[in-house]
Amino acid sequence: MPTTAVSGSASGIGAAVCQALRAAGHRIIGIDREHAEVIADLSSAAGRQAAISAVLEQSAGVLDGLVCCAGVGSSALSNTIVAVNYFGVTELLDGLVGALAKGHEPAAVVIGSVAATHGNPELQPMVAAMLAGNEALTLEHANALEKSSVAYASSKYAVTCNVRSRAVPWAKQGIRLNVVAPGAVETPLHQASLNDPRFAKAVREFVAPLGRAGHPEEIAQVVAFLLSSQASFIHASVMFVDGGMDAMVRPARF
């Protein structure tokens, strides 16, 4: 039975991932702020280290899968967004890569976002700070931002680049790693944006070509596929699961 750790397991896409993976025969070690096998706050370095230690203890140091799904949306504070969505992912990847290297056909998935391609986040100085692993400088940039949506897009862009930078070293250790980039998906995070007067109109009007938001299960099925042996040649890819949003926004670029 494969053992897979899933962050953000208590809600939305992460909960659906756990359900899909359990149905596929995985033992799940969920990581979340509550209702999980490992209770931890991924917004702080201490919380991330506590999560890593608990996962290593519960898995006896061997993982077959890892899904980094925990995240906060644009309605959160900018400094929380970068702390959870970037450092809460990359530190889990760093802390658990050794356990994955000992697993059977190990694979990992990071949940990014179609927002990573919106508004040129690559030009944001905070992206360079994130990619340099400098959390203090990233938080400084985040605190100076007017729009938390910029922090969100930047965190998802940077985390996607971080995954791509692992293509060679992780392959050398026999571990596949991919990004799933969802569009709008009906979860509490999405609902929080719809309830936020700063974003409600834009979120309501930004509809995918398929004419609707996705369901968490539609993302979870792709994550389960990417962790399975059926995806054995898919590595360091970014898979948009967005009802066509990315192609709609930038039809002539990819």
Q: Catalytic positions, please?
A: 152
Minimum CB distance to ligand NAD, residue 245 (Å) = 10
How near is the Cβ of 252 to ligand NAD at its closest, in Å?
23
Please give the Cα distance from 109 to 238 (Å, whole number). 10
Residue 41 or 218: which CB sits closer to ligand NAD?
41
Contact between 182 and ligand NAD (CB under 6 A)?
yes
Q: What mask, x for binding ligand NAD by CB under 6 A, covers residues 96 to 135?
A: ---------------x-x----------------------
> Using the rule CB under 6 A, is 239 a contact of ligand NAD?
no
Can you read off the two tokens belonging to residue 137? 């400088």
Q: How far is the CB of 8 from ligand NAD (least distance, A)?
A: 3
The correct pick among 4, 5, 18, 32 for binding ligand NAD (CB under 6 A) is 32
Give the residue carrying structure tokens 């969802």: 182
CA distance 56 to 51: 9
Among 2, 12, 121, 243, interactor with ligand NAD by CB under 6 A = 12
Cβ-based neighbours of 198, under 8 Å, separated by 6 or more: 74, 75
Q: For residue 132, give the 3-state DSSP assignment.
A: coil
Spell 76-112 as b/e; 16+ CB within 10 A means b.
bebbbbbbbbbbbbbbbbebbbebbeebeebbbbbbb
| Residue 72 engages ligand NAD in binding (rule: CB under 6 A) | yes
Whose Cβ is closer to ligand NAD: residue 13's or residue 231's? 13
Cβ proximity of 23 and 223 under 8 Å: no
Q: How many residues does the chain have?
A: 254
Helix, coil or strand: residue 193: helix
14 binds ligand NAD (CB under 6 A): yes
Give burial (CB, 10 Å; 0-12/13-18/19+) of 16: buried
Stretch that binds ligand NAD, among 3-11, 22-30, 133-141, 165-173 (CB under 6 A): 3-11
Find all residues with CB under 8 Å of 45, minimum gap 6, and list them: 87, 91, 135
Tokens in use for 220? 């979870």
Position 253: which residue type? R
Closest to ligand NAD by CB, 50 or 101: 50
> In the block, which residue shows the tokens 């400084």?
140
| Identified binder of ligand NAD from the candidate list 82, 107, 184, 231, rule CB under 6 A | 184
Nearer residue to ligand NAD within complex by CB, 105 or 186: 186
Pick from 141, 166, 176, 190: which binds ligand NAD (CB under 6 A)? 190
Q: For ligand NAD, which is the closer residue by CB, 163 or 229?
A: 163
Nearer to ligand NAD, 79 or 113 (CB): 113
Positions in the binding site for ligand NAD (CB under 6 A): 8, 10-14, 32-33, 41-43, 69-72, 84, 111, 113, 182, 184-185, 187-190
